[in-house]
Amino acid sequence: MRSKVVTLGGQEYRIDQLPMRPNREWREQLGEPLTELVSLLGGFQNLQIDSAGGIAKIITVIKDVLLGSMDRLLEALYAYSPVLAADRERIEREAYDDEALAALGVAVSLAYPLDMALAVLKPGGLSAMPISSNSRSVNGGNGTPMPTVPRKRTTKT
């Protein structure tokens, strides 16, 4: 699928998949804020919530994630889709953050076509094309059954 439809502020938009090079460049740009988010959230595993310092750290991380990163993620969404960037003013006036995050998820699914990769990796892989019985096989045969009666040899002189 080369495009997907998203709804922002009650209006549908079609997000088109970018070609390989622009897709790769967009993924590289997206990687920076995502790496920062992961590093911010990575500190939660050893966090003690029973202390005032632990609660303050949670509040700081939530503030950083929700305030700073949301703007970066919106920029990434607009960078992926010129259609959305063109209607940015209306989208920011009428759409909700959860709609924008869902649209970003669609853009990510177009930039990282993992559904295709998973189809290849799952048991059975992609559906195979049927092979004609007239196709040449690996051993050189063409798929025609051998006759049960030997052919008559003729010699021309």
Longest dimension (CA), the chain: 106
Give yes or no for a contact between 107 and 1, defined as CB atoms under 8 angstroms apart. Answer: no
pTM of the model: 0.57
21 pLDDT band, cuts 50/70/90, is: very high
* Residue 123 resides in a domain: no
* Residue 103 resides in a domain: yes
Q: What does the DSSP 8-state code read for residue 19?
A: P
| pLDDT, mean of residues 140-147 | 58
Tokens 């029973």 -> residue:
50
Range of 79's domain?
Answer: 3-118
* Residue 155 resides in a domain: no
* Residue 59 resides in a domain: yes
* Residue 143 resides in a domain: no
pLDDT of residue 20: 92
CA distance 50 to 48: 6
CA distance 47 to 18: 40
Strands, E assignment, 29-156: none
* Residue 17 resides in a domain: yes
* Residue 53 resides in a domain: yes
pLDDT at 86 over 80: yes
pLDDT of residue 108: 87
| pLDDT, mean of residues 118-128 | 59
| pLDDT, mean of residues 55-74 | 67
* Residue 88 resides in a domain: yes
pLDDT at 61 over 80: no
| Number of folded domains that form the chain | 1
Percent of the chain past pLDDT 70, that is, above it, reads 49
Task: Please give the backbone phi and psi of residue 56, each rounded to the nearest 5 degrees, phi first.
Answer: -65, -40
Give yes or no for a contact between 26 and 76, defined as CB atoms under 8 angstroms apart. Answer: yes
Long-range contacts from 75-81, C-beta under 8 angstroms, 24+ separation: 76/26, 76/29, 76/30, 76/33, 76/104, 76/107, 77/103, 77/104, 77/107, 79/26, 79/29, 80/15, 80/18, 80/26, 80/107, 80/110, 80/111, 81/13, 81/15, 81/16, 81/107
CA distance 59 to 100: 23
